[in-house]
Amino acid sequence: EPEVTQTPSHQVTQMGQEVILRCVPISNHLYFYWYRQILGQKVEFLVSFYNNEISEKSEIFDDQFSVERPDGSNFTLKIRSTKLEDSAMYFCASSEGGTKETQYFGPGTRLLVL
Partner 1 sequence: QKEVEQNSGPLSVPEGAIASLNCTYSDRVSQSFFWYRQYSGKSPELIMSIYSNGDKEDGRFTAQLNKASQYVSLLIRDSQPSDSATYLCAVIFSNGQNFVFGPGTRLSVLP
* Residue selected from 18, 54, 56, 70 as contacting partner 1 according to rule CB under 8 A: 56
DSSP classification of residue 25: -
- Span interacting with partner 1, options 17-25, 69-77, 79-87, 103-111, rule CB under 8 A: 103-111
Q: SS3 string of 44-95?
A: EEEEEEECCEEEEECCCCCCCEEEECCCCCCEEEEECCCCHHHCEEEEEEEE
- Span interacting with partner 1, options 13-21, 67-75, 77-85, 96-104, rule CB under 8 A: 96-104
**Cα distance between residue 58 and residue 67, in whole Å:** 13
* Residue selected from 19, 23, 25, 33 as contacting partner 1 according to rule CB under 8 A: 33
* Residue selected from 19, 21, 106, 113 as contacting partner 1 according to rule CB under 8 A: 106
